[in-house]
Amino acid sequence: MSVRRLAKVQPDSFAFSKATMQKAEWWIAKYPADRRQSAVIPILWLVQKQEGWVSEPAIRAIAALLDMPTIRVLEVATFYTMFQLEPVGTAALIQVCGTTPCMLRGSGELMRVCKEKIGPKDQLSADGRFTWQEVECLGACANAPMAQINDYYFEDLTAEDMAGIIDDFAAGKAPQPGSRVGRASSEPEGGAITLTDPKLYDGSAAKPIKTLPNSAPAKEPA
């Protein structure tokens, strides 16, 4: 992770949209009146939902809303890498997992595709519609390699899948998230090969036992 700084080019102003403000107030109401600051992470998140990224005027606006020092909001925004401090692609923000399991399963290929189709890492593409990043483990190692695109996980990807997904986003379509090999979650690829006996699950294999182990009181030493 490199040093996280605010973007060089910043918008002149920021305003909460009505919907964002409504949700923000819902979050603020969860905390005691003198602890409004507690809502800073959800509200940064809401602002990022609204704008796509967190701008400097937005940080000031959040500080004013929560009645806290601006530097405190900046601390939070720079601490968490989930907050984008630069503008990101309007069509898709692709976060390719580069941690060991995904790397072993071919995340390098995914990144190569991203680089070819979008451009250098961490930079807005020329048309402003795409950004791709390499991120640390997203916790879907069983479905490696994977990438988070906007709000969803795309799993079991190949280079071709990635190219297709990028093309779909470019065409304005919304590709189906989830596994590309038909898995519902993290079960073994191609179906289970162990523990397949249905008797394991209908209770018929269970045998009654007379006593629970170690349930008798210990014998007093003589």
| Interaction site with another protein (CB under 8 A) | 1-4, 6, 56, 69-72, 74-75, 78-79
Q: Give the nearer residue to another protein in terms of CB position, either 7 or 21.
A: 7
Give residue 206's Cα distance to chain centre.
Answer: 41
Q: Give the nearer residue to another protein in terms of CB position, either 84 or 143.
A: 84
Q: Give the nearer residue to another protein in terms of CB position, either 67 or 167.
A: 67
* φ, ψ for residue 47, nearest 5 deg: -65, -40
Q: Which two tokens stand for residue 34?
A: 């003198």
Q: Give the nearer residue to another protein in terms of CB position, either 43 or 74.
A: 74
C-alpha dihedral, 191 to 193 to 197 to 200, nearest 10° = -90
Nearest distance from residue 70's CB to another protein, in Å?
5
Give Cβ neighbours of residue 6 (< 8 Å, ≥ 6 apart): 55, 56, 59, 74, 85
Nearest distance from residue 3's CB to another protein, in Å?
4
Closest CA to 105 of 212, 13, 180, 44: 180
Nearest distance from residue 82's CB to another protein, in Å?
12
Nearest distance from residue 75's CB to another protein, in Å?
5
Nearest distance from residue 6's CB to another protein, in Å?
8
Burial grade of 108 (CB within 10 A; 0-12, 13-18, 19 or more): middle
Q: Give the nearer residue to another protein in terms of CB position, either 5 or 210.
A: 5
